[in-house]
Structure 1
Amino acid sequence: ALADDLMLEILKMSPYDFEKLVVQLLKNMGYGEPIATKKSGDEGIDGLVKADKFGFDTIYVQAKQWKPDSTVSRPEIQKFLGALAGQGASKGLFITTAKYSSEAILFAQRHLQQKIILVDGEMLTRLMIEYNLGVSVETTYEVKRIDYDFFHEEI
């Protein structure tokens, strides 16, 4: 139910704010230096994120805010692949509020020069909940017990 409510709020956002949300999610997940690209003339890239906090590699991001019952098909992934190639990129992340067709999934799974990861609406809301983006913790309980292994191991 929380994921469904979260999706309803995501769909109320402007497309540009959705792109910023995706970049913020990646930041919450521990990626380094996330950047949302400008609104127009982005050449098919909605954001960039460093693969780690040291900035060893860049991941290019495409964010599509579509109706949850719609389907991202293979041509959309092919366009993204073209955008990645145009940037000389080796890694891409395509995030949508919709679903992916089986052809799109198979195309992304191919061993291409560019690695493309697909995140659908269901996975997006799960990640937002896991990384506390757009949600807040209402109650936390912590129960402690003796760790007998600690006392019986050699230190």
Structure 2
Amino acid sequence: MTALLVFVLVLIFSSKLVKFIENKINSKFNSEYVKYGFLSRYYLSSRFTDREFQEWCKYFLKNMHYRNLKNVSENFEGGISFISTNNKNPTYISTRLYQLKDSEKNKQKKNVDDSYKAIGRPEVQKFVGALVHDRVKSGVIITTGDFTKEAIEYVRSLSKDYLIVLIDGAALTKELRKIRKREITSRVASGLIG
């Protein structure tokens, strides 16, 4: 009887220990996943709130060599999230977190690249209008979604005086992989890994 009781207690304790270890591993994996760029746009769009995505974009932008990032009021006209001032030249930055389109077909295919909301020409024009109004010559729009063909053509048609960078979800995850590769290379070179 005592052996059976001990066996049951060991079984209960071991299952709780396994659950505890599993939670620790998942927590560590999730933090490493976000930190080091092993991300898909689905992961970004499903795990972050708008505010969290905006803060995460700060990390991304710093790694893309944007400096002096300052948050802008949420009700700022033109959808501006940050202003970066490199060499006293401001760059307006807009971040847009978009989820998968909500349809039965997309509920079954959760990681399909053409299933994200696209930023259209009117939204990009509003952003460019804020730049023109404030005499700012460069801007960046970052989204987990896509850009419509019309939005891309509009940016291409702008005067060469303006530099507008459009970063969609696919390009965002590609750049994250480059950042991660640089971080790993740097850590290996300084002897921190391997």
Q: TM-score, normalised by structure 2?
A: 0.59
User: For residues 188 and 56 of structure 2, what CA distance do their matches in structure 1 show?
Assistant: 29
Alignment partner for residue 174 of structure 2, among 126, 136, 139? Answer: 126
* 1:22 match: 57
Segments of 5+ residues of structure 1 without an aligned counterpart are 143-155
The alpha-carbon distance between structure 1 residues 129 and 59, as it changes in their structure 2 partners (threshold 3 A), is same
Alignment partner for residue 41 of structure 1, among 75, 78, 82? Answer: 75
2:144 paired with 1:97: yes
Normalized per residue, the structure richer in helix is 2
User: For residues 56 and 25 of structure 1, what CA distance do their matches in structure 2 show?
Assistant: 21
User: For residues 116 and 30 of structure 1, what CA distance do their matches in structure 2 show?
Assistant: 16
Shift of 1:67: 2.3
Identity percentage of aligned residues: 24
Q: Which amino acid aligns with 2:99?
A: K
2:121 paired with 1:74: yes
Shift of 1:141: 7.2
Q: Which amino acid aligns with 2:117?
A: S
* 1:152 match: none
The alpha-carbon distance between structure 1 residues 9 and 93, as it changes in their structure 2 partners (threshold 3 A), is closer
Aligned residue pairs total 131
The alpha-carbon distance between structure 1 residues 42 and 24, as it changes in their structure 2 partners (threshold 3 A), is farther
User: For residues 50 and 131 of structure 1, what CA distance do their matches in structure 2 show?
Assistant: 21
Deviations 1:41-83 (A, max 9, x none): 22221111133xxx23111101111125211111111111112
Deviations 1:89-119 (A, max 9, x none): 1111011111111111000111334321110
User: For residues 163 and 132 of structure 2, what CA distance do their matches in structure 1 show?
Assistant: 11
User: For residues 23 and 110 of structure 1, what CA distance do their matches in structure 2 show?
Assistant: 28
User: For residues 129 and 11 of structure 1, what CA distance do their matches in structure 2 show?
Assistant: 19
The question of whether the paired residues in 2 share the 8 Å contact of 1:94 and 1:117 is answered with: yes
Segments of 5+ residues of structure 2 without an aligned counterpart are 1-37, 101-115, 190-194
Normalized per residue, the structure richer in strand is 1
Q: TM-score, normalised by structure 1?
A: 0.73
* 1:13 match: 48
The question of whether the paired residues in 1 share the 8 Å contact of 2:44 and 2:144 is answered with: no
Provide the aligned C-alpha RMSD in A: 2.3
Larger radius of gyration: 2
